[in-house]
Structure 1
Amino acid sequence: MEKNLNLNFSCNDVAWNIVDDHILATAATNGAVVVWNLNRPSRSKQEHVFIDHKRTVNKVCFNRVEPSWLISGSQDGTMKTFDLRVKIATNTFYSNTESVRDVQFSPHSHISFASVSENGNVQTWDVRKPDKPVLQFTAHSGPIFACDWHPENSWLATASRDKTIKVWDMSGRPSLEYTISTIASVGRVKWRPQYKYHIASVALVVDCSVNVWDVRRPYIPYAVFTPT
């Protein structure tokens, strides 16, 4: 079925290439992954459109070491890796869930990535082995909407509809290090650079504040930013 090309511009996510700063990718609601090149001489900056997903793409992420590697996570329950040099999908990873909500390359190993799903599971993968995840575990009692690798430690933060943020030590068998209880479902989390124990979060709905947490003191936010 031909995809609605206008929906290539209706996006759920955007990611800059970490090495080539003129390249970015967007995750489209029609299942397309669109790569843009700001250095293109033409008026259109659209470099390539990958149409490999069957449903909405929720997340895109570039590899920190291999600038031509791009990964996506979709509502169709799959993740796909793309090689921008040859403009093809190189592998498909099946989560065996109804929706992949976030996918993130590890900053500690360029061949590893984590994915989180609607069924509350976390999976980690080796890009060379699409047949099955390296590990899988249930992290939350509700859908997980986001994850973020710690830039220095082997910690993975997960954010869920169950109104918690959890921090997992992924150096061996996954172990729960910290739990933060929030007043609303958590839509996004992001570690604070250069502050080992600080993480920012935003709610999925209801609460418009940005909360910054010290994971060692999980009961009260370290700082709260509220729109005026």
Structure 2
Amino acid sequence: MRILMIEDDAALARSIATLLRVGGHAVDHSASGEEALELVSGEPYALVILDVGLPDIDGFTVLERMRRRGDRVPVLMLTARDALDDRVRGLDLGADDYLRKPFEPEELEARVRALGRRRGGDPVPELVVGTLCLHRSSGVAEVAGRPLDLRRREWAVLDTLATRAGQVVTRELLLAEVFGYDEPVGPNAIEVNVTRLRTKLAPDGPQIRTVRGVGYMLDAG
């Protein structure tokens, strides 16, 4: 998934971003509520992680503005506050889940996975395309029972293609799903990952076909 994290604590933001990127997600970060609202309006995020305590406008205001303009992206709110009224307020404003600081990394990962399954694109934790099986909850991929040793970005590319198996996926969409806006992206980054995936899927996995000038398609099996 492509995730926007809105958190002004730089150390915590780096920690969460690292955790999520290891899990195969593309992560954008903003420390400002106003900037985050601009980012959400221009990018198709699958999930927003929103801290309540921000330096300009608070997380409640950010959430309220998002929902008022019709943005239905799932929102996981983070807060150092333990007041029941704050949790109720966030949920009433349209938050999908709430996590109180400090939290264990495993709990954050579990909540992110759960919210990911709720959105339209990822309704199930296991995805099967022919002989390929992606176990999203564990991050394990297999072809005909043979485990695949995938790097983080290889997993993200394969998951995006498998979610849309039999459909052409544009290079632009792959870039948006795999890389955050502040991550360095080489001119052939997608091509390199697709080449590696083809080698690892062969000879008994589904083929990744190139649609010249457009993108790629994973055979539906």
Question: Would you call these one fold, judging by a TM-score over 0.5?
Answer: no
TM-score (norm 2): 0.30
Q: Give the TM-score of the pair, scaled to structure 1.
A: 0.30
Q: Which has the higher contact order (CA 8 A, sep 6+)?
A: 2
* Larger strand share, 1 or 2: 1
> Based on CA coordinates, which of the two structures has the bigger radius of gyration?
2
